[in-house]
Amino acid sequence: MKKATIFHICIVITILFGCEGKFEPINSLDEPNLLFPENNKRCLGIKLDTDKIRVEFDWDDINQVSQYTIDYSDGVSGESNVLITSDSFISVDLEPGTLYTWNVSVADDFGNSKKSKDFNFYTEGLTEANHVPFPAKIEIQENPNNNVAVLWQGVDLDDDIDYYQVFFSQENPPIQYIDNTTENSFNIDVVSGSIYYLNIITVDQNGNFSESKLSRQF
């Protein structure tokens, strides 16, 4: 009986070890896909009696999560607001004629998390065409021999971007690298393993401006 009991225990242990790993959580989570307001576009929304604009934020469902965290901020002042919802949409009352940046973050029960890309939009409401430029979209391409290409693209609803100011260095905040340029790229040598900070200010002909910030270790 003892031998039979030991034999049965061994079988159970073998089965348990054989099943090990089959119930491990999948270490993946989809990045939220933003739908509305669209990136770098005007957003009409619904004008309220309070003179605010009601805007519905909308994004794709993600099956692995039970709640979403939406972060929207004034694109100029940087004042941020965070809301949590179990739906893949939410309505928010915003100021008219204002540039906003928004994103959505998600997390699952296994410690995985993902954040969407940042989208920018303008709530309609200004009586004259004098919009703040959208933050420039930045791309960094790594070349051979520790050389990188920094490229950016600015967008302004009034199509009146005047120039860019570029700050790039290992210091934070970075020191100015290019002053008042109309170019959209530059190449520079970097030190491997070092962190660099980049800040691009987009200025329009009315003096309105927006900032794009990025840090990267090469």
Cross-sheet strand order for the sheet of 176-181 = 176-181, 161-169, 195-204, 209-217
Given this structure, which CATH class describes domain 34-123? Answer: mainly beta
Q: What is the pLDDT of residues 74-93, one digit of tens each?
A: 877 778 999 999 999 999 99
Q: What is the pLDDT of residues 167-207, one digit of tens each?
A: 999 999 999 999 999 999 999 999 999 999 999 999 999 99
Query: Within the chain, where are the H helices?
Result: 2-19
In sequence order, the 6+-apart residues with CB closer than 8 A to the CB of 179 are 165
Backbone angles phi, psi at 13, to 5 degrees: -60, -40
Please classify residue 24 by burial: count the beta carbons closer than 10 Å to its beta carbon, then call 0-12 exposed, 13-18 middle and 19+ buried. Answer: exposed
104 in Cβ contact with 34 (< 8 Å): yes
pLDDT of 8 over the 70 cut: no
How many Å apart are CA 69 and CA 83, to the nearest integer? 6
**pTM exceeding the 0.75 threshold for the entire prediction:** no
Residue of 57, 43, 150 whose CA lies nearest to 98: 43
Q: What is the pLDDT of residues 24-75, one digit of tens each?
A: 455 578 899 999 999 999 898 888 888 899 999 999 999 889 999 999 998 7
- Expressed in angstroms, the distance from the first to the final Cα of the chain is 66
At the topology level of CATH, where does 134-217 sit? Immunoglobulin-like (2.60.40)
Residue 143, CA distances (Å) to 39, 70, 183 in order: 29, 36, 20
Domains in the chain: boundaries: 34-123, 134-217
- Taking only Cα atoms into account, the Rg of the chain, rounded to an integer number of angstroms, comes to 25
- Domains 34-123 and 134-217 equal at CATH topology level: yes
How many Å apart are CA 167 and CA 69, to the nearest integer? 31
Q: What is the pLDDT of residues 106-132, one digit of tens each?
A: 998 888 999 999 999 999 875 456 788
122 in Cβ contact with 101 (< 8 Å): no
61 in Cβ contact with 89 (< 8 Å): no
Residue 168, CA distances (Å) to 111, 119, 164 in order: 34, 24, 13
Query: Within 50-115, where are the H helices?
Result: none
